[in-house]
Amino acid sequence: MDEALKEMLAQITTATLTTVLLKKGLRNVWLRGPMPLGAAARVMGPAFTLRFVPAREDLATPASWSSPTSTRAAIEDMPTGAIAVVDAGGCTDAGIAGDILSARMRHRGVAALVTDGVVRDKYGVLGTGLPVWCAGVAAPPSVAGLTFAGWQEPIGCGGVAVMPGDIIVADGDGVVCIPRSLVEEVAEQGMEQERLEAWIMREVQAGSPLPGLYPADEANQRRYEEAKAAGRA
């Protein structure tokens, strides 16, 4: 993403993004499960997808960590600024990554890790500084419940279809996936929605009743446009 687009998305909450996408007919964009592991700054970036399937004993072994098809190999393909989005099938009893993998992602400039599964080595992961959104923590390694299957292919994470290159935005309310083809339009409309809602909030704090204000009816929309033209919104 270019810097102008990133600056726009940095000002738009995931709550606003879901509303804008809903107006475009996209209802299933908020990932179920992933929430901030630590403090939640807003991050955004293109999705770099990884996929696990349920463990099979001949494949899910410690030896598989050295395979050409492994999380280790996938991490070496991750570009700076990407968000690693990991389909763990909602498995919560085997960590898809720990402190060492998180440290390597951080070193490579990965913006964040998002998964509908869990991580291990919680405090070590937090210590790396890599922002993580996940469904919790678990001590067992990935092969205790999962087999790594590949990367940079379509996945389902938290019940949402995520394509490589889709734009991911994550904050304290969770994670939203924006189709790459819509991101510029969504960002522009999201910025306008944030401006409108900031104006509405000021009106509410000044004592205005909600009916006709939120959502804004024609009269209040006109008042907002006048305030915006005058630099008051």
Q: What is the pLDDT of residues 17-71, one digit of tens each?
A: 999 999 999 999 999 999 999 988 999 999 999 999 999 999 989 999 889 999 9
pTM tops 0.85, yes or no? yes
Structure-token match 């996929």, residue found: 51
Phi-psi category of 43—alpha, beta or left, where left has phi over 0 and alpha has psi -120 to 50?
beta
With respect to residue 223, please indicate whether it lies within any of the assigned structural domains: yes
What stretches of 172-228 adopt beta strand conformation (E)? 174-178
Domain shared by 106 and 203, yes or no? no
Q: Quick one: pLDDT at residue 1?
A: 79
With respect to residue 145, please indicate whether it lies within any of the assigned structural domains: yes
DSSP letters, 41-88, are: --EEEEEEEEEEEE--TTTSSGGGGGSSSSHHHHHTTPPTT-EEEEE-
Distance of alpha carbon 183 from alpha carbon 176, whole angstroms: 12
132-185: per-residue pLDDT in tens? 999 999 999 999 999 999 999 999 999 999 999 999 999 999 999 999 999 999
Distance of alpha carbon 189 from alpha carbon 183, whole angstroms: 10
Distance of alpha carbon 37 from alpha carbon 135, whole angstroms: 8
Domain shared by 106 and 162, yes or no? yes
Distance of alpha carbon 78 from alpha carbon 184, whole angstroms: 23
Q: Residue 88: is its pLDDT beyond 90?
A: yes
With respect to residue 4, please indicate whether it lies within any of the assigned structural domains: no
Average pLDDT across the chain, whole number: 96
Domain shared by 68 and 121, yes or no? yes
Q: Which domain holds residue 212?
A: 185-229
Percent of the chain past pLDDT 90, that is, above it, reads 94
CA-based nearest residue to 16, from 52, 42, 47: 42
Q: What are the tokens at 14?
A: 């995931």
200-218: per-residue pLDDT in tens? 999 999 999 999 999 999 9
Domain shared by 101 and 167, yes or no? yes
Tally of domains within the chain? 2
Specify the CATH number for the domain of residue 45.
Answer: 3.50.30.40
- How many CB atoms are closer than 10 A to CB 24? 13
With respect to residue 148, please indicate whether it lies within any of the assigned structural domains: yes
Domain shared by 173 and 190, yes or no? no
Domain shared by 63 and 159, yes or no? yes
CB-CB contact of 134 with 35 (8 Å)? yes
With respect to residue 14, please indicate whether it lies within any of the assigned structural domains: no
